[in-house]
Homo-oligomer: A and B are copies of this chain.
């Protein structure tokens, strides 16, 4: 026999006030036809009883959960922390709660997604990368997930909506800056290459650079956005290389890679940044502005993007497949 069992229902309040349960419900509904007097009485009683509507029951009845699943897979990328903070805050401000789904473990990924769908999330938001194209298809195919949104990336998938930064404008700005700064021998470090959640940064940079200078830069990619992997890549690729074979600037797909690359240049190649090899990143993670790094980077308009995301959730925006926003180039010392 537990205490009074925490669960106060609308009936309890109704009984106390002396009205029907539905009147109580109306009191909690924004634009319901109820007399101010009734509402006031109800609210007061609710207060003393500690009643609040049960979202579980509400969701079950309305088929709207106000819950979204946030699928994340690369926890090694510090930018994820920034994104999560911004997204959860703005979503909450708009009445949404966030289910954090860790899909870094391939096996669990589909199970996790399935589970989220079983909770009838209003939408699934991908802010990961290497999310299995296959299970994504499955999820959509089964229509279990009402909306699938790819955040901060493009998606070629037909059934998906992308809310992201305008990569073309961004990389153009970076390219122009790098060129104007006098660098002539860039090397591009890319992240994982997937179909479902794609980034065009590499392609855009390569073609822009080729258009400008006539030659196509070399590049390489790593499997995850993990500074350590970028570190290893730089070591393996450039340690002991002849001066002539070294690039004069490393254009990185994002800061996570840039940070690792920067460490490698200094501690493994024994060279200086930017004097010997310059670096650019993307995202403007907090670390990028640390005096140790001072990475020249590009800041995504996260708030705009998050707000657009909300609009997509509410169905305000037309079912446009792509919502792209302009960010800002942040010039620091690294390039």
Residues of A at under 8 Å CB distance from B?
3-4, 6-7, 50, 52-57, 59-60, 63, 65, 67, 70, 75-76, 78, 80-82, 84-85, 88-89, 92-93, 97-102, 104-105, 108, 111-112, 114-120, 142-144, 146, 227-228, 259, 263, 266-267, 286-287, 290-292
Contacts and interface: CB of A to CB of B under 8 A. Distances in A.
B99 A98 contact: yes
Given A78-B81, A84-B75, A290 B100 contact: no
Which of A50, A89, A114, A266 has the largest number of chain B CB atoms within 10 A? A89
Contacts of A54: 60, 118, 120
A247 to B, nearest CB: 20
A55 B119 contact: yes
A121 to B, nearest CB: 10
Contacts of A7: 63
Contact of A60 (B60, B82, B88): B60
A269 to B, nearest CB: 12
B88 A100 contact: yes
A105 B86 CA distance: 11
Contacts of A55: 115, 118-120
A6 B57 CA distance: 20
A119 B56 contact: yes
Contacts of A263: 290-292
Nearest to A55: B118
Contacts of A266: 291-292
B108 A93 contact: yes
Given A97-B119, A108-B93, A75 B85 contact: yes
Contacts of A52: 114, 117-118, 144
Contacts of A108: 89, 92-93
Contacts of A143: 3-4, 6, 50
B100 A84 contact: yes
A120 B76 CA distance: 31
B99 A146 contact: no
A307 B56 CA distance: 27
B99 A290 contact: no
Contacts of A119: 55-56, 67, 97
Contacts of A75: 81-82, 84-85
A99 B121 CA distance: 12
